[in-house]
Structure 1
């Protein structure tokens, strides 16, 4: 069964996220481990986390895709910013064990003038410091749009990070449809070719989750502006091609479109209907 959901707010607690997911027809979801703009994380209520775990099991949820704060930049030239990335991710690895066996996604960061090679080295260094053999969480590098000095706009950059990480078994990739198109990959006209290229450079075994977003901009724009499904340059057919592709359809799909819960519910229902139609159900 298609595992699809959206970003949900953790402000009211973990179990509340599970209830919101069920309300909108989701069977996976994403959430920020702390305020998306950074800062101190709220203490976890163990009873609340247990209630969510029970709900996930009872309703056969797919793997969750937690998200690091946007302010996290492990390859900044500012040491304080790099230290925040280390502290936040280290804490988040501990917090993720309250909901074990899930994913933790982060933006690789921006090298801000230091050069791609330095940025890659700094990101890999952080991962080598925070990944442990005991953790059940798989950390995901997100594909980026390639704007400015972002790392991760090319598959080769993700592969270079992974090559430098010792505990590769604790590392994967989350592909974002808006980002990967904005970065110049033709998922509209040649999705198979893009996936073959990813497999050759990174390995499809490393692709663990998808962010499914339409894009306000055409291929190669390098702007990263999400649009609602069917209202952007990718279009509904492209997104349905992604969620029904034989090499992708078992992954968790997370919507990050500009929506409230009602809008997410409509998109989830639409995509389930289109996927069923495509597969003759």
Structure 2
């Protein structure tokens, strides 16, 4: 089954997200649990969640992915920023516990000049305080483009975090196609080589999701500007190979391209056609 969806606004609740996903031929979606710039989340509406779970089962919606706010930084040099990151993630994982088979994605953080060697132990400590043995939601580290002091710009950095986590079956990776290309992993001309590197360093069993985005920037630019599918430096042929690759085709794909809902529908239709044309 091709699991494809896009980023949607949570403003009208879970049940609305399920209905909107169905309307654009999506069978999964990603959403922010609160403003991407932080703040408090809306109160839980248990009736809405129950309605969503019923609709999701009816529509075949699976692998729902929540995205942490961009301001979450567990390796900040400021204690109050780290405390906020812990508070938000605890609350988000509690919320996602009501949705079976859910995923939770976050940017590993920025070391703000402290260096990666200082930042990674801080991220590990943060996650080990939050992740529990009995949780059902898988936490995903996102691959980053490498701008500024971002942590997670290489497979080695992500693996160093994973190796320090107590409950390793609760942690994984979300690969962002724009980010890895901007970081210097040539998924356009050497997709097999990149996947072999990922497998040897982290293990493909840890790859749980893909953010499928084109890039406004050239290869290894270490920037982060998403483009619509086929309109950036990756190009449509690369996405054809990515969504049909035998090591990737079973994974859920989430669009984060600069689009409104109709634009996402167009891209989902495009990707479904590409999927059907390849055996």
Determine the structure 1 residue equivalent to 2:91: 91
In the alignment, is residue 121 of structure 1 matched against residue 153 of structure 2?
no
Gaps of 5+ in 2: none
* 1:12 to partner: Cα distance: 0.5
* 1:35 to partner: Cα distance: 1.0
Alignment of 1:230-241 (within 5 A): 230-241=230-241
Determine the structure 1 residue equivalent to 2:61: 61
- Taking the aligned partners of 2:20 and 2:101, their CA distance within structure 1 comes to 21
Please say if residues 255 and 264 of structure 1, whose CA atoms lie closer than 8 Å, have aligned partners that are also in contact. yes
Aligned residues: 279
Q: Residue 101 of structure 1 aligns to a residue in which SS?
A: coil
Please say if residues 62 and 101 of structure 2, whose CA atoms lie closer than 8 Å, have aligned partners that are also in contact. no
Runs of 4+ in structure 1 displaced over 4 angstroms?
none
Question: Normalization by structure 2: what TM-score?
Answer: 0.99
Q: Residue 218 of structure 1 aligns to a residue in which SS?
A: coil
- Taking the aligned partners of 1:194 and 1:101, their CA distance within structure 2 comes to 27
Please say if residues 103 and 140 of structure 1, whose CA atoms lie closer than 8 Å, have aligned partners that are also in contact. yes
* 1:219 to partner: Cα distance: 1.1
In the alignment, is residue 134 of structure 1 matched against residue 134 of structure 2?
yes
Determine the structure 1 residue equivalent to 2:48: 48
Determine the structure 2 residue equivalent to 1:107: 107
Please say if residues 18 and 61 of structure 2, whose CA atoms lie closer than 8 Å, have aligned partners that are also in contact. no
* 1:44 to partner: Cα distance: 1.4
Determine the structure 2 residue equivalent to 1:180: 180
Determine the structure 2 residue equivalent to 1:263: 263
Please say if residues 64 and 103 of structure 1, whose CA atoms lie closer than 8 Å, have aligned partners that are also in contact. yes
* 1:58 to partner: Cα distance: 1.3
Please say if residues 35 and 69 of structure 1, whose CA atoms lie closer than 8 Å, have aligned partners that are also in contact. yes
Determine the structure 1 residue equivalent to 2:26: 26
Q: Residue 109 of structure 1 aligns to a residue in which SS?
A: coil
Q: Residue 231 of structure 2 aligns to a residue in which SS?
A: coil
- Taking the aligned partners of 1:9 and 1:100, their CA distance within structure 2 comes to 20
* 1:57 to partner: Cα distance: 1.1
Please say if residues 64 and 252 of structure 1, whose CA atoms lie closer than 8 Å, have aligned partners that are also in contact. no
* 1:20 to partner: Cα distance: 0.6
- Taking the aligned partners of 2:32 and 2:233, their CA distance within structure 1 comes to 27
Question: Normalization by structure 1: what TM-score?
Answer: 0.98
In the alignment, is residue 225 of structure 1 matched against residue 219 of structure 2?
no
* 1:240 to partner: Cα distance: 1.6
Gaps of 5+ in 1: none
- Taking the aligned partners of 2:126 and 2:259, their CA distance within structure 1 comes to 33
- Taking the aligned partners of 2:196 and 2:267, their CA distance within structure 1 comes to 28
Determine the structure 1 residue equivalent to 2:191: 191
* 1:100 to partner: Cα distance: 2.6
- Taking the aligned partners of 2:12 and 2:95, their CA distance within structure 1 comes to 16
* 1:55 to partner: Cα distance: 1.2
